Structure 1
Amino acid sequence: MVLNMEKIFWCDKLVDEILEREEKLEEKSDVFITESGLGASGIPHIGSAGDCVRAYMIFLALKDRGLKSKYYAVSDDRDGLRKVPIGFPKNLEESIGHPVSNIDDPFGCHRSYGEHMSSLLMDGMEKIGVEFEFISSDDLYKKGVMDKEIKEILKNHEKAGEIIKRETLQERYTEQYPFFVICENCGKIYTTRITDFHNDKVEYVCDESFLGKNSETGEEIRVKGCGYRGETSIRNGKLQWKVEFAARWKALKINFEAFGKDILDSVKVNDAICREMLNFEPPVHALYELFVEKSGERISKSKGNVFTPQVWLDYGSPESMRLLMLKRLNYTRVVNLFEIPKHMDEVDRLANVYFGEEEISNERERAHLKRLYEYVCLLKPPEEKPLTVSHYTLIDICNVIPKKIKNRYEIIKNILLRTKLLPKDFDESELKKRIEYATNFVEDVGKTKREKIELTSLEKKALSIFKEKLTEDMSAEEIQTLIFETAKENEIKPRDFFKTIYRVILGVDQGPRAGSLIKIIGVERIKEIISEYR
């Protein structure tokens, strides 16, 4: 039986669900639209990029089926600022409660704080190959794109409140309108409440309060309304998140949006609002688990453990980062810098499977891995197998061959060729990029925890003797001779002792002339490495 690769990967299965949803619709989709939100109130982290990558992959999967598709990246830039992120000026505390699109950029490079934050994520998206149509929520409200949906929700706010209560057990919106006005006096958004709605206008009072926070100091900040009463347009505010997604989905005719486990309740409410109030079948969803740091704590936009896409791309390829996002959705993933070499090697393994250099006996698993590789390559896999080389080994080699060494690239290339870790024909630019990633990792993060080489007591003894006799003033030829003599004195075949030297220093069985290599790396550094094998 020949397996259909387009039916075994989660992206392709979701396209089937999107097409099943389409059959229920009275008004058919001319264009299939996927969406993800861009948080604009805090520093965008790698989890934020995950939302974008998943939505983009469904966009690609739809196109792969011959369907017209678009991907919208929607910035939540009318949200109010609740927390000052770590590393931001303390005077930003004065803007807590204001829409992020109305706050000046504290760094002076963008029109607003919200635009600054959105630009960070857009930069990361572009670097990992995600193409998108940018939409500002602030513009959606200003231009009245969601007017019809807003009016329907405000007109029937009691019903919305009952749905919210049913789905979340929260009773607040059985008495209040699920809408925040931007106060025309103080400019804050979360301190207002609507007292009446009529003729497309809302009457409101700014008398609520909430707790903000400075994440740098940990200080909680009580933000209070100014007491102002007024009347304004529905375009001068925003829907509460328990109904906002629904309005946006209908107004933009969204077919798909993934979401994280942390907003599951919100999605349930918005799905119900779609069906019961807006006469719209909610988009197909994909529920995914969250990224956590090594300690098990969820990565946050406002805390100091922000792991941005740009950080990953200093040490790993766009393909490795896309793989992180595309593997199974339904389990929590630990994200730290030491995951990067692992994912670099996983991408190489997928390439080997795809091009038939690694045999996978299970047909279903083989088809799944090949389809995963196609998505990692944005459904444009290379015609020939790209360069693959153990990233862990490359890090080990870069760790012992300092950046300052003359002809460093040629030395590293020679080591890889002699150990047959490189094919005879390879792309020099690819190798240079891989060495750059590995070098950055060594310099900024440190050596990975490579398993120690298993040595016999005789090998350890010979290494110890070699280390004691090795001196700074020796020439490369004298070091080469010392290796031969030490092997013979300890009744070890010189060939085997040279192999031990290479394995201890580089983690591989062969390399350039050992005496020259040790001289290049430096006697002091070599002694440090050998000392680990006492």
Structure 2
Amino acid sequence: MTSVKLPPLDLSPALIEAAKVSKAWPFEEARKLLKRIEGRDPSRPVLFETGYGPSGLPHIGTFGEVARTTMVRTAFRVLTGDRIPTRLLCFSDDLDGMRKIPENVPDRAALEPYLHKPLTAVPNPFGGDHKSFGDHNNAMLRRFLDHFGFEYEFASATEYYRSGRFDEVLLRAAGKYQDIMDVMLPTLGAERQATYSPFLPISPTTGRVLYVPMKAVDAKAGTVTFEDEDGTETTLPVTGGNVKLQWKPDFGMRWAALDVDFEMFGKDHLTNAPIYDRICEILGGKAPEHFVYELFLDENGEKISKSKGNGLTIDEWLTYASPESLALYMFNKPRTAKKLYFDVIPKAVDEYVTFATRYPSMSVEQQLANPAWHIHSGNPPEVDVPVSFAMLLNLVSASNAENKDVLWAFISRHVPGVTAESHPKLDELVGYAIRYFDDFVKPTKVFHAPDDVELAALKTLDATLAELPTDADGNTIQDAVLDVARPIERYQDEKKKGPDGGPGVSVSWFNALYRLLLGQERGPRFGSFVALYGIPETRALIAKAISGELVSGNA
């Protein structure tokens, strides 16, 4: 168990009443859970569980289960006035056999002799202090959960099976063997039916997890008999970690053994949920409340896989953005499939700042719908970030900043009194912006050479900026930039109205400026960017675009 304590909550009557009708999805799930435990001993803890398959390196989807479950747990605590104890168990299925070697591990050939052995019996290919592949991946998950500050208990299937914590229910499974088979066999093809068993013995000769039919199941003795890999008829007790259950029966067994009250899982489990529930009931348990979320996709629209290593890892996100931005990504629309790759990071960062900044001025009802409330378990911090992440990225782009000092020189001039010491959250974003730009923006920058219309427009823009005071604010500069484009037919938009009743300015004008001056297709509000970057510096950038110096840098 981690040493982190559950954070205190605002349990004012107004907040509890608002929680009873809040439409935020964690409160909707918490109200279902509250109905589930009606009439139950209130001193009995409500158990929230998340599952982790350590067959590959942890990915963000794994973190998402813990973050989202924590959000439901916090909502439940509010609804009950925090009078009913709760637990969050993060369960690792590390006794599973390694059925294939992940693509993203070093020296894959060295792991081939360990195929089908439990993940906690496979050597650690990454080196270090962790004895096994399963131990290493478990540690990676715990490291991030600890970094984020979750309150949870970690559980290892290897430990639970071998210590005897599942023995009672495993003996029950031996007694209900045929009932479990009656649930499972109709879900399988004819070939699989012929060899299927819910019990997977671990070979005493090879140490592998065996997918073999049972010759006999002795419920009274609590044993199974099967043919080992060397052809020997072997009998093992179902207790003590000598066997484990197939993954579908294992779900239901675990729920029954631990009295799990709530577990969420991905849409890929949806068709199997009735199977898990039925096996749980056969083994004497009550199926938990479920929450089914949509899966994450990579930039090609393919499902993210731990073994493939596609999509983002936990460490990759945290290299370029804060944990809070990641938690926001998890909170938003969990039942909608979302692409999870590097391009989503800047938007998540700025959206988090927006929600956190607005939080203090909101009513109680609005606060409970604000993602910041759920991300911070009801205790959002004060956030003051006067420059957006998107703006910082473009400032890095224009200035070619390689360190924080360069960016802070611009920021301090634009926002007097703001320093790295007074605004540590902004300083954090400055570091993220430099890393993100270097790795993802800079390699894709392509400056366009201005055509005749663009060349004339740039010269007019330069002359216009020259007439403005150097301390002009973003709105003044934005108006001046719009005035440059109004008489140019290419940039007129008949659907918009200008201040004189004529055509408005098309977004194509700003797209052209981004391509010509920043080498990008998109950018921030241009007037605000110029105010932050500086009018003299922007004019110097325009001069380079006019002379062709920026284009020559493409090579």
TM-score bracket for the superposition, by shorter chain length: 0.7 to 0.9
What is the one-letter code of the residue matched to 1:22? I
Kindly indicate whether the alpha-carbon contact (under 8 Å) linking 1:76 and 1:137 is maintained by their aligned counterparts in 2: yes
Write the deviation string for residues 200-253 of structure 1: whole angstroms up to 9, x where unpaired. 2222213xxxxxxxxxxxxxxxxxx44343222223121111211111112222
Write the deviation string for residues 459-493 of structure 1: whole angstroms up to 9, x where unpaired. 741536999xxxxxxxxxxxxx99849xxxxxxx9
Within 2, Cα distance between the matches of 1:141 and 1:324? 35
For residue 122 of structure 2, what is the aligned residue in structure 1?
103
Write the deviation string for residues 76-115 of structure 1: whole angstroms up to 9, x where unpaired. 1100101211232222122111111111112222111101
Q: Does 1:17 align with 2:17?
A: no
What is the one-letter code of the residue matched to 1:386? D
Within 1, Cα distance between the matches of 2:404 and 2:138? 42
What displacement does 1:334 show?
A: 0.8
Within 2, Cα distance between the matches of 1:246 and 1:200? 19
The secondary structure found in structure 2 opposite 1:77 is coil
Kindly indicate whether the alpha-carbon contact (under 8 Å) linking 1:158 and 1:173 is maintained by their aligned counterparts in 2: no
* Superposition pairs of residues 454-473 of structure 1, within 5 angstroms: 460-461=455-456, 463=458
Within 2, Cα distance between the matches of 1:302 and 1:342? 28
Kindly indicate whether the alpha-carbon contact (under 8 Å) linking 1:39 and 1:75 is maintained by their aligned counterparts in 2: yes
Match for 2:52 among 29, 38, 58? 38
Kindly indicate whether the alpha-carbon contact (under 8 Å) linking 2:203 and 2:210 is maintained by their aligned counterparts in 1: no
Kindly indicate whether the alpha-carbon contact (under 8 Å) linking 1:154 and 1:177 is maintained by their aligned counterparts in 2: no
Kindly indicate whether the alpha-carbon contact (under 8 Å) linking 1:395 and 1:447 is maintained by their aligned counterparts in 2: no
For residue 69 of structure 2, what is the aligned residue in structure 1?
55
For residue 151 of structure 1, what is the aligned residue in structure 2?
171
Kindly indicate whether the alpha-carbon contact (under 8 Å) linking 2:48 and 2:87 is maintained by their aligned counterparts in 1: yes
Aligned length: 480
| TM-score, structure 1 as length reference | 0.79
The secondary structure found in structure 2 opposite 1:84 is coil
What is the one-letter code of the residue matched to 1:33? L
For residue 414 of structure 1, what is the aligned residue in structure 2?
412
Query: Measured at CA, do residues 62 and 5 of structure 1 come closer, stay the same or move farther in structure 2, by a change above 3 Å?
Result: closer
Kindly indicate whether the alpha-carbon contact (under 8 Å) linking 1:45 and 1:308 is maintained by their aligned counterparts in 2: yes
Write the deviation string for residues 121-148 of structure 1: whole angstroms up to 9, x where unpaired. 2222223332321111001100111112
Kindly indicate whether the alpha-carbon contact (under 8 Å) linking 2:299 and 2:311 is maintained by their aligned counterparts in 1: no
What is the one-letter code of the residue matched to 1:150? L
What displacement does 1:273 show?
A: 1.2
For residue 320 of structure 2, what is the aligned residue in structure 1?
315
Within 2, Cα distance between the matches of 1:241 and 1:177? 11
Within 2, Cα distance between the matches of 1:521 and 1:414? 23
For residue 280 of structure 1, what is the aligned residue in structure 2?
285
Kindly indicate whether the alpha-carbon contact (under 8 Å) linking 1:196 and 1:204 is maintained by their aligned counterparts in 2: yes
| Deviating more after overlay: 8-17 vs 346-355 | 346-355
What displacement does 1:352 show?
A: 3.7
For residue 227 of structure 1, what is the aligned residue in structure 2?
231
Identify unmatched segments of 5+ residues in structure 2.
1-13, 468-476, 485-509, 519-523
* Superposition pairs of residues 39-438 of structure 1, within 5 angstroms: 39-64=53-78, 65=80, 66=82, 67-88=84-105, 89=107, 90-109=109-128, 110-166=130-186, 168=187, 172=192, 176-198=196-218, 199-206=221-228, 225-234=229-238, 235-275=241-281, 277-356=282-361, 366=366, 369-370=369-370, 372-382=371-381, 384-387=382-385, 389-404=387-402, 407-414=405-412, 416-417=414-415, 427-438=422-433
Query: Measured at CA, do residues 44 and 395 of structure 1 come closer, stay the same or move farther in structure 2, by a change above 3 Å?
Result: same
Give the root-mean-square deviation of aligned CA atoms.
Answer: 4.0
| TM-score, structure 2 as length reference | 0.76
What is the one-letter code of the residue matched to 1:194? M
What is the one-letter code of the residue matched to 2:111? L
What displacement does 1:526 show?
A: 9.5
| Deviating more after overlay: 5-14 vs 373-382 | 5-14
Aligned-pair identity in percent equals 27
| Deviating more after overlay: 426-435 vs 406-415 | 406-415
Kindly indicate whether the alpha-carbon contact (under 8 Å) linking 1:74 and 1:136 is maintained by their aligned counterparts in 2: yes
What displacement does 1:258 show?
A: 0.3
Kindly indicate whether the alpha-carbon contact (under 8 Å) linking 1:44 and 1:301 is maintained by their aligned counterparts in 2: yes
Kindly indicate whether the alpha-carbon contact (under 8 Å) linking 2:265 and 2:291 is maintained by their aligned counterparts in 1: yes
Query: Measured at CA, do residues 405 and 98 of structure 1 come closer, stay the same or move farther in structure 2, by a change above 3 Å?
Result: closer
Within 1, Cα distance between the matches of 2:202 and 2:531? 69
What displacement does 1:443 show?
A: 0.8
Query: Measured at CA, do residues 497 and 375 of structure 1 come closer, stay the same or move farther in structure 2, by a change above 3 Å?
Result: closer
Within 1, Cα distance between the matches of 2:404 and 2:389? 22
Within 1, Cα distance between the matches of 2:173 and 2:295? 31
Within 1, Cα distance between the matches of 2:163 and 2:139? 22
The secondary structure found in structure 2 opposite 1:445 is helix
Within 1, Cα distance between the matches of 2:179 and 2:74? 38
Kindly indicate whether the alpha-carbon contact (under 8 Å) linking 1:464 and 1:530 is maintained by their aligned counterparts in 2: no
Within 1, Cα distance between the matches of 2:75 and 2:196? 42
What is the one-letter code of the residue matched to 1:77? D
Kindly indicate whether the alpha-carbon contact (under 8 Å) linking 2:125 and 2:133 is maintained by their aligned counterparts in 1: yes
What displacement does 1:405 show?
A: 6.3
Query: Measured at CA, do residues 271 and 376 of structure 1 come closer, stay the same or move farther in structure 2, by a change above 3 Å?
Result: same
What displacement does 1:170 show?
A: 5.1
Within 2, Cα distance between the matches of 1:331 and 1:57? 17
What displacement does 1:496 show?
A: 4.3
What is the one-letter code of the residue matched to 2:372? Y
Within 2, Cα distance between the matches of 1:406 and 1:160? 61
What is the one-letter code of the residue matched to 2:225? E
* Superposition pairs of residues 513-528 of structure 1, within 5 angstroms: 513-515=534-536
